[in-house]
Structure 1
Amino acid sequence: MAERKKLLLRLDPQVYDAVARWATDDLRSVNAQIEYALRLALRTVGRPPKPSTAPGTSTELDTTTEPQTSDDPGTTSESATSTEPDG
């Protein structure tokens, strides 16, 4: 497994408590939840991390995230892709 970067992170206690509750709900450690949230944010803004080449590592988010809606970037609505002829 590739060596993980170590990072000292200072958080507002209320932010930490909210992340800790979220982590508990998702059965993750706080550290794993922070990494999950960062990966989710990176994917949302179109800057996902490059896939790792180390065996046993994954940059994929779990599949329990909410599905994209038609308002999300990268999706198309049926009305926007209509192929009906004009007039």
Structure 2
Amino acid sequence: MPARCIAELRVAAEKKAYPLRINAAVLEAMQAWSEDELRSLNSQIEYVLRDALRRAGRLKPGKVEPVEDPDD
């Protein structure tokens, strides 16, 4: 199996599901933003969270590799 496929499987295995309760207006805005960016809603939420964590110094560069959502 190519190294890239192994890495993708490893990253996919590290993802965890988390039920999210979110305000309806925020959800609608995130959905519209995700469509503008050509991402799934899940990928957009993860992107925004990752960016906020990085800016706050809570997530070190290279700690989380950006991975495309399999639904995209």
Which of the five TM-score ranges fits, normalised by the shorter chain? 0.5 to 0.7
CA RMSD of aligned residues (A): 1.9
* Letter of the 2:19 counterpart: L
Q: Distance in 2 between matches of 1:47 and 1:9?
A: 21
Aligned to 2:48: 37
Aligned to 1:23: 34
Point out 4+ residue stretches in structure 1 off by more than 3 angstroms.
Answer: none
Aligned to 2:63: 51
Which structure's residues are more often helix, by fraction? 2
What SS does the aligned partner of 1:40 have? Answer: helix
Higher relative contact order (CA 8 A, sep 6+): 2
Larger Cα-atom Rg: 1
Instruction: Return 5+ residue gaps in structure 2 as ranges.
Output: 1-8, 68-72
TM-score computed with the length of structure 2 as normaliser = 0.67
What SS does the aligned partner of 2:16 have? Answer: coil
TM-score computed with the length of structure 1 as normaliser = 0.56
Instruction: Return 5+ residue gaps in structure 1 as ranges.
Output: 53-57, 61-87
Q: Distance in 2 between matches of 1:59 and 1:20?
A: 19
Shift of 1:59: 3.8
Q: How many residues align?
A: 55
